[in-house]
Amino acid sequence: MNDYERIARVIRYLDEHHTMQPGLEKLAGIAGLSQYHFHRVFSAWAGVTPKDFLQCLTLEHAKALLHQGQNVLSAAFEAGLSGPGRLHDLCVSLEAVSPGELKRGGSGLNIHFGFADTPFGDCLVGESERGICHLAFVDGEGHDAALDDLRNKWPEACLRRSDRIAGIASRIFEGPRGNNKAPTLRALVKGSAFQVRVWGALLRVPPGQLVTYGQLAAAIGQPRAARSVGSAVAQNTLGYLIPCHRVIRETGVIGEYRWGRVRKRAIVAWETSRRMDGAPLAEAIAAAPDSQN
């Protein structure tokens, strides 16, 4: 079991039991690690301690209760949020393939690919001369199935395994170091004009924020196209890079995710915890993603 699978098990448990405020001993047992090892692994993964991460989940729950008219501020935690992690905005420029290129299935295109470790499990990344054209998390079907999916997406392209992919994944998930600016990345996508508009709107949703399908539809000037927007979101082949994980249902429910609901929940909580890094509790409540939007 890798670190993501251990953390995903804990996330699943916290989804159902966070109101019980489980302690470090309980969470470490669920992960199958010693308390010391679990604390170290979790802090490295999330950028905050397990206690602070649990606090973020509690804040989300508090926001929902406040929208229901309940007074939960009196029960708020006294401690503020702090941690070494800092979330950054990825600057991604989208380029869409032409209809002719789409029909040719990537003929004449060289795609360098490779598997890389991320905070959310292994992923498969494909990069062409014109930008990143594939990013998918490896699910239960394994690496071979993930590679088959890439081949199916670009059936006529020339695929070549490359060691440089680990560095690309590092730029995507680790962000800037020191005084360096956030990385600027190019992406090559296959989709209709409508899908590309939806994906472009997704890139404008800040980390740690959530948006509904209806709000996304309004953002592209088609407020009645929420269902079509949902279909476009589901067709995204650049997981995390185009942040379809930031889209929720109108009811506030996190909803399904192409690469697993638990992984989506993990990414959202990870972004939220880093966005609120260092914020006092009162500010964190005000800044927490509105789960009712």
Give 232-243 as a DSSP string: HHHT--BTTTS-
Q: Which strand ranges, in their side-by-side order, compose the sheet holding 110-118?
A: 91-96, 184-189, 131-137, 121-128, 110-118, 158-161
| Distances, alpha carbon 283 to alpha carbons 108, 138, 275, in Å | 52, 36, 11
CA Rg, the chain, in Å? 20
| CA proximity to 270, closest of 32, 43, 40 | 43
| Catalytic site includes residue 133 | no
Rounded CA gap, 29 and 39, in Å? Answer: 12
Active-site residue, from 56, 123, 133, 244: 244
Neighbour tally for 173: CB within 10 Å: 16
In the block, tokens 């079509």 appear at 228
Torsion of CA 123, 126, 131, 132, to 10 degrees: -20
Q: Is 31 exposed, middle or buried (0-12, 13-18, 19+ CB in 10 A)?
A: buried
Dihedral class, residue 290 (left if φ above 0, else alpha if ψ from -120 to 50, else beta): beta
DSSP state for residue 289 in the 8-state scheme = -
Would you please indicate which residues are annotated as catalytic (active-site) residues?
Answer: 244
